[in-house]
Amino acid sequence: MDAIILLGAPGAGKGTIADLVKEKSGYLHVSTGDMLRAAVKAQTAVGLKAKSFMEAGELVPDEVIIGIVRERMAQGGQDEKYMFDGFPRTLEQARLLDAVMEEAGSRVSRVFLLEASKELLVSRISGRRICRNCGAVYHVQNIPPKVEGVCDSCGGELYQRKDDSEETVLNRLEVYKKQTAALIDYYDAKSILLRLDASQPKEVTQARILEVLSRS
């Protein structure tokens, strides 16, 4: 078993990069944000617990997150390679992941930190549009669809996430600073953190990550 992590503030490009990297690396993309949004849509018990936290831009309680990640990892085999996006987000979640990896005789091998200025993060989030049908992610200026409001891949309708409103975005950035940024030091101390400039074109970041993974 192997695990790598894409760490970074909301809007840094974790989901976009994960989609590109998974195609060429064999890593399984695990996004706790996507899992929670699916649970909210399906109105499961997890979704009902998570909804109000997500809409306010707050973190969903650790016990809920730990439950869904454990459940997801229990479905994978011994040789599974996980690429986490949006997880872990607190020290407690990071320690839990370490414990799960240790139980499997492995460890988190790499953490890629996507760094960007606050201005860039806000402009990326406010321009983000997502396909209601297949989940493809666009940006109205940076990565526009060929036809406005319509997904290139499946023709689905593009929508804006509820928690991408300006007020909620500013809270999400604060929450990242207060609760998640501590993970930078946590992983740096283990000498597995690699800092990447997230303002680069996505293909540049993808190539850098693939190059690092091919050497390990």
- Annotated catalytic residues are 14, 89, 128, 161, 172
Helix-strand-coil split of the chain, %, nearest 5: 50, 20, 30
Q: Which parts of 40-69 interact with ligand AP5 (CB under 6 A)?
A: 53-54, 57-60, 65
Distance CA 9, CA 48 (A): 25
Q: Which amino acid is at 172?
A: R
Task: Identify which of residues 33 and 47 has a Cβ nearer to ligand AP5 in the complex.
Answer: 33
Contact status: 100 vs ligand AP5 (CB under 6 A): no
Position of minimal CB gap to ligand AP5 = 33
Q: CB 64 → ligand AP5: shortest distance, Å? A: 8
Q: CB 213 → ligand AP5: shortest distance, Å? A: 18
Helix (H) or strand (E) segment spanning residue 83? strand 81-85
Q: Which parts of 146-205 interact with ligand AP5 (CB under 6 A)?
A: 163, 172, 201-202
Distance CA 136, CA 122 (A): 20
Contact status: 206 vs ligand AP5 (CB under 6 A): no
Contact status: 36 vs ligand AP5 (CB under 6 A): yes
Q: CB 193 → ligand AP5: shortest distance, Å? A: 17
146: which 2 tokens? 């060929």
86: which 2 tokens? 């949006």
Contact status: 139 vs ligand AP5 (CB under 6 A): yes
Q: Which region among 40-48, 100-108, 138-146, 185-193 touches ligand AP5 (by CB under 6 A)?
A: 138-146
Please name the residue that has the structure tokens 């593009």: 158
Q: Which region among 21-29, 104-112, 134-142, 147-155 touches ligand AP5 (by CB under 6 A)?
A: 134-142
Distances (CA, A) of 24 to 5, 114, 206: 16, 19, 10
Radius of gyration of the chain (CA): 17
Q: Which region among 13-21, 72-80, 144-152, 185-193 touches ligand AP5 (by CB under 6 A)?
A: 13-21
Nearest residue to 84 (alpha-carbon basis) of 99, 94, 74, 71: 94
